[in-house]
C-alpha cells in the first residue's frame, strides 16, 4: 500500500497521519479501528515504512530499500509486531511482557522503535493492563500502533490513551481493484468482492483453488439447466455436490448462483454491462434474458434465497440442491 491508495480508501485517516508526519507531531500511540479488511494492518506498515525508508520520494516510502522490504516481511529489528500465536485466540500477557522489555531498550539501528499490535481487542485483561504502563508513560522515540476490528472489546483506559483513527468499510470496487493490483484474475476478484465485501476475506477466497473451481461449476450448472436436452440431476450428484461438500461451501455456491440471476435481471432492467458480476458471460446472460421474463427471474432468485435459509436451518445440502434445481426447471 502507498499513501495515494490509502487516501483513496481512507481519506480522513490518511490526512491525519500525513499531516502528523509532515509536522513531526506523531502521537505516541494510535488505535486503528474498523471492520476487518479495511486496510488497518497495511496502514500501520505503511507508516512504519515511511518513518524508516532510506530513499523516500515526495513523502512516499520507496518499497524497495532494505528497510521497506524488511518491514513488509516482518524482519526489521526496530518494528516489532505482535498478534495471537498460531492457533491461539488471544494475545497473552507474556507477549506484552516481551514488548515491555523491548520498550526499555534503544532502537537497534536507530533511535526509533515501532510496535504494532494486531487484533488488540484479543489481548487478555492481564495483557491490556500490562500495556497500559507503556501508553501512560511512553518512552522517547517509541510509537505504538494498535489495530482492532471491535474497539468496544478494549478497555476504556486503553482507548482513552490512544489517538483513535476509524477505518470505513471499503466499496466492493475498491476491494476488487486491490485484488487485481496483486495479480488476482479479474473474474475471481469481482466475484469475491461481491461475495464478501471484505478485502482480507476476498483475498483468501481468490487464493483458494477451490473458489475458481466453484465458479466454473456454477456456470456449468447454469448451462445444464438451460439445456433442456441435458439432464441436470446426474451433474448434481456426480460433480457439483462433491465439490460443495460443506454447508459453508454450499452457501457460497447458492450465492454464486444468485448473482447469475441478479445479473440477468440487471440486463432486463437496462442497466449497463458494468453492473454485471459475471461480465465475461454477458452474451450467455443475454440469451437467458430472451427466454425468461423479469418475473421468472425474480421467482428464481426467491427460490435460491429460500434454499439458503434451509441451509441455515441445517437441512441436508444435497436435498436442498435437488429441490432447488427441480423448482428452477419448473419456472422455465
What pLDDT was estimated at residue 108? 65
Residue 165 and residue 18 share a domain: yes
Query: Could you say which of 169, 196, 221 is where a domain stops?
Result: 169
CATH number for the domain that contains residue 163: 3.40.50.300
Does residue 184 form part of some domain? no
DSSP character for 240? I
How many domains does one find in the chain? 2
What pLDDT was estimated at residue 229? 63
Does residue 47 form part of some domain? yes
State how far the Cα of 233 lies from the Cα of 81, in Å rounded to an integer. 51
Residue 241 and residue 165 share a domain: no
Does residue 251 form part of some domain? yes
What pLDDT was estimated at residue 96? 87
Residue 155 and residue 224 share a domain: no
DSSP states of 195-239: HHS-HHHHHHHHT-HHHHHHHHHHHHHHHHHH-TTS-SHHHIIII
Residue 25 and residue 123 share a domain: yes
Residue 81: beta bridge partners?
Answer: 116
State how far the Cα of 158 lies from the Cα of 148, in Å rounded to an integer. 12
What pLDDT was estimated at residue 310? 92
CB 62 within 8 A of CB 54: yes
Does residue 232 form part of some domain? yes
State how far the Cα of 69 lies from the Cα of 114, in Å rounded to an integer. 16
Residue 106 and residue 15 share a domain: yes
Residue 234 and residue 101 share a domain: no
Strand 79-82 relative to strand 29-33, pairing:
unpaired
DSSP character for 79? E
Residue 152 and residue 226 share a domain: no
CATH number for the domain that contains residue 267: 1.20.272.10
Residue 132 and residue 11 share a domain: yes
Does residue 121 form part of some domain? yes
Alpha helices in the chain (DSSP H): 3-9, 11-23, 40-52, 66-73, 93-103, 125-136, 156-160, 172-181, 186-196, 199-206, 209-226, 233-235, 241-243, 247-268, 282-291, 294-312, 317-331
Q: Which domain holds residue 243?
A: 208-331
Query: Could you say which of 142, 169, 196 is where a domain stops?
Result: 169
What pLDDT was estimated at residue 49? 97
Q: What is this structure's pTM?
A: 0.74
Residue 231 and residue 162 share a domain: no
Residue 160 and residue 31 share a domain: yes
Query: Could you say which of 141, 169, 197 is where a domain stops?
Result: 169
Residue 123: beta bridge partners?
Answer: 91
Burial class (CB within 10 angstroms; exposed 0-12, middle 13-18, buried 19+) of 240: buried
Does residue 174 form part of some domain? no
Residue 229 and residue 322 share a domain: yes
What pLDDT was estimated at residue 332? 61
State how far the Cα of 185 lies from the Cα of 265, in Å rounded to an integer. 25
What pLDDT was estimated at residue 68? 96
Q: What is the pLDDT along the chain (332 residues), one digit of tens a residue?
A: 899 999 999 999 999 999 999 999 999 999 999 998 899 999 999 999 999 999 999 999 999 999 999 999 999 999 999 988 877 788 988 888 888 787 666 656 777 899 999 999 999 898 898 888 778 877 778 899 999 999 999 999 999 999 999 999 988 998 999 899 889 999 999 999 999 988 889 999 999 999 999 999 999 999 888 776 667 888 889 889 889 989 999 999 999 999 999 999 999 988 877 789 999 999 999 888 888 899 999 999 999 999 999 988 888 888 999 999 989 887 66
CB 127 within 8 A of CB 93: yes
Does residue 182 form part of some domain? no
Does residue 194 form part of some domain? no
What pLDDT was estimated at residue 241? 87
Residue 149 and residue 279 share a domain: no
Amino acid at each position: 500500500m502507498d499513501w495515494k491508495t490509502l487516501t483513496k480508501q481512507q481519506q480522513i485517516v490518511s490526512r491525519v497521519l500525513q499531516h502528523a508526519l509532515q509536522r513531526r507531531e506523531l502521537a505516541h500511540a494510535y488505535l486503528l479501528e474498523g471492520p476487518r479488511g479495511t486496510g488497518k494492518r497495511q496502514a500501520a506498515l505503511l507508516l512504519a515504512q515511511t518513518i524508516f525508508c532510506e530513499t523516500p520520494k515526495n513523502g512516499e516510502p520507496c518499497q524497495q530499500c532494505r528497510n521497506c522490504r524488511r518491514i513488509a516481511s516482518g524482519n526489521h529489528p526496530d518494528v516489532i509486531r505482535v498478534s495471537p500465536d498460531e492457533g491461539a485466540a488471544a494475545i497473552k500477557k507474556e507477549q506484552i511482557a516481551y514488548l515491555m522489555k523491548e520498550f526499555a531498550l534503544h532502537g537497534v539501528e536507530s533511535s526509533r522503535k515501532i510496535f504494532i499490535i494486531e487484533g488488540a481487542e484479543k489481548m487478555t485483561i492481564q495483557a491490556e493492563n500490562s500495556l497500559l504502563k507503556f501508553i501512560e508513560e511512553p518512552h522517547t522515540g517509541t510509537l505504538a500502533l494498535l489495530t482492532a476490528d471491535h474497539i468496544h472489546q478494549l478497555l476504556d483506559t486503553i482507548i482513552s490513551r490512544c489517538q483513535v483513527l476509524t477505518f470505513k468499510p471499503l466499496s466492493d470496487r475498491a476491494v476488487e481493484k486491490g485484488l487485481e493490483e496483486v495479480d488476482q484474475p479479474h473474474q475471481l476478484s469481482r466475484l469475491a468482492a461481491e461475495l464478501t465485501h471484505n478485502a482480507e476475506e476476498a483475498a483468501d477466497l481468490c487464493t483458494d483453488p477451490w473458489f475458481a473451481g466453484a465458479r466454473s461449476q456454477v456456470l456449468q450448472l447454469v448451462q445444464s439447466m438451460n439445456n433442456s436436452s441435458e439432464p441436470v440431476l446426474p451433474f448434481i450428484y456426480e460433480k457439483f455436490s462433491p465439490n460443495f461438500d460443506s454447508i459453508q461451501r454450499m452457501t457460497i455456491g447458492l450465492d454464486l448462483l444468485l448473482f447469475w440471476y441478479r445479473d440477468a435481471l440487471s440486463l432486463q432492467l437496462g442497466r449497463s454491462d458494468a453492473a454485471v458480476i459475471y461480465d465475461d458471460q454477458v452474451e450467455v446472460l443475454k440469451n437467458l434474458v430472451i427466454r425468461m421474463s423479469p418475473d421468472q427471474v425474480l421467482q428464481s432468485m426467491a427460490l435460491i434465497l429460500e434454499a439458503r435459509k434451509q441451509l441455515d436451518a441445517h437441512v441436508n445440502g444435497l436435498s436442498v440442491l435437488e429441490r432447488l434445481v427441480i423448482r428452477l426447471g419448473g419456472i422455465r
